[in-house]
Amino acid sequence: MQVFKTYHKIIKRKFLSIAILLVAYLGLSLLYSHSDLTSDVNSFTDIEVEIAFLNEDMTNENNTELVEGMKSYLSQHAEIVTVVDNREDIQNALFSNEIQAAIRIPYGFTKKFFKDNSLTIEQMSKPDSLEAFYVQSHINKFLNKAKIYASYMDEDDQAQIVERVKDDLSKYINVEVHGDSNVLLEVTRNMINHYNFLGLYLLFSIVSGVGMSMMVFNKPEIIKRNNISSLSISNRNFQLFLGNISYVLFCWGLGMLISIVFFRHQFSLPKTILFSINALCFAITCLSIGFLIGKNVRNKNTFNSLVAIIILSMTFIGGLFIPLELMSSKIIKVAQFTPIYWYIKANDNIQNLDIVSSDYLIPIGWQILTVCAFGIGIFAFTFIISKVKYSRFHSQ
Amino acid sequence: MVVKVENLLKKYKNVTAVNNLSLEIKEGEIFGILGPNGSGKTTTINCILSLLKYESGNIELFGEKMKPEAYEIKRKIGAVMQEVAVFDELTVYENIDYFCGLYIKNINEKKDLVEEAMEFVKIKDYRKRYPKELSGGLLRRLNIACGISHKPKLIIFDEPTVGVDPQSRNYILEGIQKLNSSGATIIYTSHYMEEVEQICTRIGIVDKGSIIALGSKEELKNKLEFNKRLIIENSKVSEEEIAEIQKIPFVISAKYDNGKIFISLSKSDINVLTILEYLKDRNIEFGSIQSEVPTLNDVFLKFTGKKLRD
């Protein structure tokens, strides 16, 4: 196993240069893994908005029961701030962010509300203010319910209607989801980011490592000396193949180990198996790329430039740094010609996999097979080139 | 017979690199292939090693037909090519170990052979160095160690001294003679006639892909008409006097060029004095006298009409 041993000696010697960049890429991967790239929202927190509540609809200097009920409901979701009822002062308060909205209930509002005549509540806010929209939605919610009760509960007076509305709005429903054995643990976006960046790690470490080693073994003078020797070409190639495969398995295993350790709390066996298979297929495709470059490039600088161009262009187009959803259809069409696009797509689908069933697994399977097809295609292309070169070498 | 090449023909598109070349090399010989650059030496070697396909001809090594998959024959061959073929990523020891390991499976035997090879080329002190840390001469020695470590019966050296300093060159040549005396048959190609003359027991002079002369160096020189050349420094001599010198017995040719008289003699010892007496009688003044024996360059000149390094 002379060639196999030497392959690993060469990898070890080259590993320092690979390791430096590897650390950088792994750091980048972890950084991205822990920063949410998408707008997925997994939790909700009620915000409190400062508002001014100005009421002109009073009876005997008191708020009507409807207005008082609405004010009381709003106070659960907003802080009611007292401001001087003056247009200029309200605008100043809005400008200085003392309040985010000012609500003015016009005179006669309650009366007209129950008589079915519409009378608009005046609201002042900054243009396109999200907080104002939020307050408006609460007002609408309250008034819509009140309108329903007013329409269908003729015998109820204003106080009863307000009481019913308040009662309705105070109710919460607790929903409990019972787990099914086929329902899979949800993985976070962090985890999927990590698996996507695992692709970058595999691409870099395997293409560089395999490419550099193959370049060393493919130096014409080394080939010549090997061909003179009594070790058959098939034996030599088999040992090189074993060397490449063992290196790929090492890189893949290391990547998977890091992933499992980092996300042990979200460990889901079916999803981890699928992520692993996808990563392994992608690793083999990376091997084919490294093999192609290493077999055909002689110069070290050309090799380094080529590897950088291939990795960066593939990762940018393939949707690693920019989510596929944000890319134009034209770029996505181009991206489909890169294996990393299918790798990321399969990862996304594995992430969204809730139930283990053929309906969900078949598309993932096709995507993983597409990644493999790239590898097989590149290997076939490399062997054709090698065959042509070999016959030329022997006849020249 | 260790090597037998019959009517070897190798073409690169329309250019004939080796033209019906035939040669036989016996066991224990140091066979020199001498020829200028581009004469077909390396192509012949590559064909012998089955590194190149050839149009026609037959090559036998150790009595068997040589083919790319003749691994049993290859086991007995070592080659040190013109280009240094070592791994930059491996140390001196690891390089020799790798190439030795392509032939030798037994770990202990391999270890001993690697040590022997390092000792042979005197590179033991550099065993942990990388090729980039070695001088040109040491690198050549490493290249040789990688080619001979498995103790082959036939060793091919293809211009191993190109770009090597004189000290390392002598070292390499002495080493080749030692390998030969330990039982290896050697094929040595070069365009340096001095090297070939120094170490080879038989020489084939190659030009335009064909062997134009073959034999030991004495046999080759005997093919020349003269066996000594006199070079006499002289300020002036007339054409008539040169013509008269040519008439002296055993003088083959005489010419005057750039303040020197060049005289080729067929029987040297007798007529040096005759010539000097002739010059004295005619009161022709002369300075230093140089005497030269014929070289392989003269042989090459005789057969091709051009000098070896033209």
pLDDT higher at B90 or A393: B90
Question: Is there a domain that residue B309 lies in?
Answer: no
Q: Are A289 and A340 in contact (CB under 8 A)?
A: no
The answer to whether B143 and B160 have CB atoms below 8 angstroms apart is yes
Tell me, yes or no, whether B196 and B63 share the same domain: yes
CATH number at residue B117: 3.40.50.300
Q: What rounded mean pLDDT belongs to chain B?
A: 88
Residues of A in contact with B79 (CB under 8 A): 225, 228
Query: Given an 8 Å threshold on Cβ–Cβ distance, is B71 in contact with A228?
Result: no
Chain-chain contact of A231 with B87 (C-beta, under 8 angstroms)? no
Residues near B90 by beta carbon (within 8 Å), at least 6 away in sequence: A6, A9, A10, A13, B98, B130, B131
Average pLDDT for chain A: 83
Which of A225, A231, A393 has the highest number of chain B CBs within 10 A, making it the mutation to test binding with B?
A225
B265 part of a folded domain: yes
Which of B89, B114, B133, B153 has the highest number of chain A CBs within 10 A, making it the mutation to test binding with A?
B89
What's the domain range around B240?
Answer: 228-304
pLDDT of residue B308: 65
Q: B45 touching A, CB under 8 A?
A: no
Task: Give pTM, 2 decimals.
Answer: 0.71
Residues B31-46 have a mean pLDDT of 90
- Nearest-CA distance from B95 to chain A in Å? 9
pLDDT for residue A41: 47
pLDDT of residue B268: 57
Question: Is residue A15 predicted with pLDDT exceeding 70?
Answer: yes
**CATH 3.40.1710.10 matches A49-169:** yes
Alpha carbon A40 to chain centroid, angstroms: 8
Among candidate residues B220, B228, B191, B186, the one with its CA nearest the CA of residue B203: B220
Task: Assess A298–B contact: CB distance below 8 Å, yes or no.
Answer: no
B158 plus B192 within the same structural domain: yes
Q: Which residue of A has its CA nearest to B101?
A: A2
pLDDT at A184: 52
Q: Give phi and psi for A132, each to the nearest 5.
A: -65, -40
Tokens 């890091």 belong to residue = A258
Asked if B93 and B41 sit in the same domain, the reply is: yes
Find the CB nearest B102 among A13, A229, A395. Answer: A229
Hey, CA dihedral for A208, A212, A215, A217, is it positive or negative?
Answer: negative
Which residues in chain B touch residue A396, judged by CB atoms under 8 angstroms apart?
12, 52
Q: What is the number of structural domains in chain B?
A: 2
Together in a domain, B232 and B166? no
Name residue, tokens 């001469």: B137
Nearest CA in chain A to B66: A228
- The answer to whether the Cβ–Cβ distance between B87 and A221 falls below 8 Å is no
pLDDT band at A91 (very low <50, low <70, confident <90, very high): confident
Look at A62 and B43; give whichever has higher pLDDT. Answer: B43
Residue B79 inside a domain? The answer is yes
Nearest to B83 among A221, A231, A396 (CB): A221
Q: Give me the interface pTM, i.e. the ipTM.
A: 0.82
Question: Which of the two residues, B146 and B192, has the higher pLDDT score?
Answer: B146
| B261 shares a domain with B211 | no
Asked if B263 and B278 sit in the same domain, the reply is yes
Task: Give the residue from B155, B188, B222 where a domain finishes.
Answer: B222
Cβ–Cβ gap A216/B89 under 8 Å: yes
Q: Are residues B265 and B171 in the same domain?
A: no
